[in-house]
Structure 1
Amino acid sequence: MDLSLSVDLKDQVAIVTGASQGLGRAVAVALGQNGAHVVCVARNAEKLAATVAEIKAAGGKGEALPCDVTDRKAAAEAIEGT
């Protein structure tokens, strides 16, 4: 899925949940391509690594943060850590 976005997000941090596939992945990549540092959140670490690799291949900055956001404590810790 290709998501077209044209905005300067330099020095911004974006947390994208569901970033391992589908719309979440497309949003994460588009944000990274536009300068945001993207924190990619989902349960599947392997798929998250692929998303981050795609962001970096496009010249963006990103990191994977495996987390089940249905676990309130884990989600809160992920946000705090970011």
Structure 2
Amino acid sequence: MLKDFAYKITEKGLQDLLTNIKKTTIITTSSTDKKLAKRAIENGLINSICSDIGISNIVWLHCSNTKKRRNKENYLLKK
């Protein structure tokens, strides 16, 4: 995340600057299932980084088994 755009460093720590974002959708693709990606995405990205810069109300869509383009397209069409 870009310093002075997403956050500022102050004497008290990080100040979030993206509080105007009301809803966020994160889409990930992988050849593995959601269980393997869950820890990194939920703990690392959503609950840590996004929260630190003021982004909340996050929906995470994970497209697994995306080795083939057709699998990705079919998955997204179902959502």
TM-score range, shorter chain: 0.3 to 0.5
Bigger share in helix:
1
Bigger share in strand:
2
TM-score (norm. length: structure 1): 0.40
Which is bigger in relative contact order (C-alpha 8 A, separation at least 6)? 2
TM-score (norm. length: structure 2): 0.40
